[in-house]
Amino acid sequence: MDACCSPVCCEPLSEADALEMATRLKALADPTRLRLFSLVASQEQQCACDLTEPLHVSQPTVSHHLKVLTDAGLLNREQRGKWAYFSVSAEALEDLARFLDPAELVSQA
Amino acid sequence: MDACCSPVCCEPLSEADALEMATRLKALADPTRLRLFSLVASQEQQCACDLTEPLHVSQPTVSHHLKVLTDAGLLNREQRGKWAYFSVSAEALEDLARFLDPAELVSQA
DNA sequence: TAGTCGTATCGACAGATGTCTATATAAAGG
DNA sequence: CCTTTATATAGACATCTGTCGATACGACTA
């Protein structure tokens, strides 16, 4: 998972770059998944076993969302015995924030 | 459109905040829409009439995507005669980038 | 006032997506 | 081994979404 491309404001995205960045954004663009991500981000790491209850969704649903976030590179997964621990990929998050940086934007609000 | 909430890394999001931020992220989480956004962002402003051809989708589809982006607060719309001009809301984009800022993240990749 | 041009809306439709229950897998512990 | 526990997968289903063609709306123009 690397930075992919220049910020969205600098130049028109190619179809390939747009597809890649949209996929990463889509991983965060769901309320339940975003809450899940923020739960993990709020701790050093999180055991999946502690994530089902606060979200009020079923265990398979949490597992599904964790997979989506992990596949997108936004979460790191580590197996320890029968437990799965997740942590945020600071690098991936930084890439996203940099991609959305309006620094080089010419127009104004 | 204001900043909504503290960065995703600081503390668990409420359901309401997660819904709001997910909605904004969702507006950018589509390849065609992201390309459209980057096309607008690359110029001071863009006439809708110039946005259909480079995207290879129909005019109603472009109009639909422009509405989604505008409703999300990411684009500003201005009518001039029979033309519609769009520009990026630097403020909204900045809010998003700040929301995703990993600065206060405790864990590491 | 007709006609043309730019844009938005409508209605339809296929495909994607979030959720669930049921079940499989895998690791520990008796 | 057999059971328990944590997590993942499978399959189903309702809803959402991106796209289109057809058409309506609004503003300029001849």
Question: Any CB–CB contact under 8 A between B26 and chain A?
Answer: yes
In this model, does residue B107 exceed pLDDT 70?
Answer: no
- Angstroms from B9 CA to nearest CA on chain A: 5
User: Rounded CA gap, A92 and A99, in Å?
Assistant: 11
Residue A9 within a domain? no
Rounded to the nearest integer, the mean pLDDT of chain B is: 92
Tell me, yes or no, whether B86 lies in a domain: yes
Query: How many domains does chain A divide into?
Result: 1
Q: How many residues does chain A have?
A: 109
Q: What is the mean pLDDT of residues B18-26?
A: 97
Which nucleotides in chain C lie closer than 7 A to a protein CB?
5-11, 17-23, 26-28
Q: What is the mean pLDDT of residues B49-75?
A: 97
Asked if pLDDT for residue B26 goes beyond 70, the answer is yes
The closest nt to A64, taking CA to C1', is D8
> How many other C-beta atoms can be found within 10 angstroms of the C-beta atom of residue B103?
12
Q: Can you give the CATH number for the domain in which B62 is found? A: 1.10.10.10
| Bridge partners (DSSP) listed for residue B85 | B47, B78
**B4, part of any domain:** no
Between chains, do A102 and B88 touch, taking CB under 8 Å as contact? Answer: yes
Segments forming the whole domain that contains residue B73? 15-99
Answer whether residue B9 is part of any domain.
Answer: no
- State the DSSP string of B72-106: TTSEEEEEETTEEEEEE-HHHHHHHHHHT--TT--
Which nucleotide has the least CA–C1' distance to A59?
D7
Q: Calculate mean pLDDT across residues B72-88.
A: 96
Query: Which whole-number Å values give the CA distances from A37 to A16, A41, A42, in the listed order?
Result: 26, 6, 9
pLDDT band at B2 (very low <50, low <70, confident <90, very high): low
For residue B79, pLDDT over 50 is answered with yes
Judge whether A62 lies within some domain: yes
Please identify among residues 44-63 of chain B the ones whose CB lies closer than 8 Å to any CB of chain A: 44-45, 54
Q: d(Cα B62, Cα B55) in Å, to the nearest integer?
A: 8
Assigned domain for A104 exists: no
The residue among A104 and A96 whose pLDDT is bigger is A96
Q: Say yes or no: A18 contacts chain B, CB-CB below 8 A.
A: yes
Confirm whether B55 is domain-assigned: yes
Mean pLDDT in residue range A51-65: 96
Q: Is the pLDDT of residue A109 over 50?
A: no
> Is B10 within the bounds of a domain?
no
